[in-house]
Amino acid sequence: MLEALSLEALAHYTRGMTTMFFILWTANIYKYRHENSMMMVMTIAAGYITFGFIKDVIFLFTPWMTHFSVEGVVSLIDILCTPFVTAFFLEATNPGIVTTKRLLAGVFLFLLPIATYIVIQNEIIIQIAFAMSFLFSGTGFIFILYFVMRYDKCIADNYSYTQDISVKWVAGCAIAYFSWLATYYLCFNDTTWAGEVIFDIFSMVIWIVMWRFSRRHHVIIEMLEKNTTDEREKRSTPKTEDDNMIHSAQNESKKPTEPTEKRKNMVKETFLTQALAQKMEEKIYLNPKLSLNDLALSIGTNRSYLSEFLNNQGKSFYDYINEHRIAEACRILDTAQTGERINIANVAARSGFNSISSFNRYFYKIKEMTPTDYLYLRFIDKRS
């Protein structure tokens, strides 16, 4: 008897602690909601989960919870968190995929069992809702894994630094979340005080882990957007001569016609050219964590202007920076003495690369030979 009371007291304690945790956690991440879409979706998900815990506390101290139909509705309301959390994982792995319409469609799908249960009040509806939740989560997980592989491939192909921009952590957190969902089903299908304690502790742990990784993660969308645009251009049909004439006319109409606007553009381009040249002389590219935001802030402009400026020159930010890194690597290799043993990994690190594979890939892309071949040719030239 005493043991049962102690376990019940522990369950009430952990439920209160978990409720306070989610209230404070939601209040904390609310200020980060405008950083990117991923944080916005996480804020929405956190808000809903917090609502769920507060709702349970209210029902705990009211006679409503003893009513069968109310208990069923409460369970269905808890399941409604599925589209919010799944949306967070999808947005983290494929920035921009979650829109207001898509999120509302997912929420509406899970509102249907609630409305049906209020009318029919049949236990089977709850079981169907749980099955639908697992199916929804499972389908989402398949897409999440695909997006993780695509995202990380894109990052590996274009970045020398991948530690805080890889999304492999999302796959691990998704597995943990779906385990959390299964824990909820097991704990509340046959409610026990021990199940309450396990569920509450599991809830706090998994969301702390997700919060830690999401705050450390730097969302990268420029290269993903560029790849998407390139794919669309490849799939587009060849333009006819009339289409080209129309396209040329549209481009002409978009060009600034006012002298003042032309002067502003020229001043902006001159400023960016000079500012970038200065930063390259300072070898800012040696920072392996350098991002478009960092470079824009260092020269006193915004990322949109800088990205547009580089794109007009036919280069992406990554190509521009890595060209200077490869030039730096060549300067290091050029100073090597004949017969000197050179550590290519060390050259890559000194050039600003955090990955030897990225270094080798970009070196071959720019110089059309490997770093070892380049060094060998330099030794031959020095002997002759």
Q: Mean of the pLDDT values across residues 244-265? A: 51
What span, in angstroms and rounded, lies between the C-alpha atoms of 375 and 384?
Answer: 15
Q: Mean of the pLDDT values across residues 174-203? A: 76
Q: What is the pLDDT of residues 351-365, one digit of tens each?
A: 998 888 888 888 998
Q: Which CATH class is domain 2-222?
A: mainly alpha
Q: Name which of 245, 255, 207, 216 is nearest 47 in CA terms.
A: 207
State the pLDDT confidence band at 242, using cuts at 50, 70 and 90: very low
pLDDT of residue 221: 58
Mean pLDDT, the chain, as a whole number?
79
Q: Report the 3 state secondary structure along the chain.
A: CHHHHHHHHHHHHHHHHHHHHHHHHHHHHHHHCCCCHHHHHHHHHHHHHHHHHHHHHHHHCCHHHHCHHHHHHHHHHHHCHHHHHHHHHHHHHCCCCCCHHHHHHHHHHHHHHHHHHHHHCCHHHHHHHHHHHHHHHHHHHHHHHHHHHHHHHHHHHHCCCCCCCCCHHHHHHHHHHHHHHHHHHHHHHCCCHHHHHHHHHHHHHHHHHHHHHHHHCCCCCHHHHHHHHHHHHHHCCCCCHHHHHHHHHHHHHHCCCCHHHHHHHHHHHHHHHHHHHHHHHCCHHHCCCCCHHHHHHHCCCCHHHHHHHHHHCCCCHHHHHHHHHHHHHHHHHHCCCCCCCCCHHHHHHHCCCCCHHHHHHHHHHHHCCCHHHHHHHHHHHHHC
Please give the residue that has the higher pLDDT: either 384 or 284: 284
pLDDT of residue 384: 59
Of the listed ranges 10-14, 278-282, 343-347, the least confidently predicted one is 10-14
Given a cut of 90, whether residue 325 has pLDDT beyond it is yes
Q: What is the pLDDT of residues 291-312, one digit of tens each?
A: 888 888 888 777 778 888 888 8
Q: What is the pLDDT of residues 88-134, one digit of tens each?
A: 999 988 888 999 999 999 999 999 999 999 888 888 998 899 889 88
Please give the residue that has the higher pLDDT: either 37 or 260: 37
Q: Where are the domains of the chain?
A: 2-222, 261-383
Given a cut of 70, whether residue 1 has pLDDT beyond it is no
Given a cut of 70, whether residue 245 has pLDDT beyond it is no
Most confident region among 6-20, 125-139, 225-239 by mean pLDDT: 125-139
3-state DSSP assignment of residue 167: coil
Q: What is the pLDDT of residues 255-297, one digit of tens each?
A: 444 456 666 667 677 878 888 888 899 999 998 888 888 888 8
Q: What is the pLDDT of residues 205-232, one digit of tens each?
A: 888 888 888 887 777 655 455 554 444 4
Of the listed ranges 43-57, 64-78, 276-290, the least confidently predicted one is 64-78
pLDDT of residue 222: 52
For the whole model, what pTM was predicted? 0.64
State the pLDDT confidence band at 249, using cuts at 50, 70 and 90: very low
pLDDT of residue 52: 87
pLDDT of residue 63: 61
CATH of domain 261-383: 1.10.10.60
pLDDT of residue 132: 92
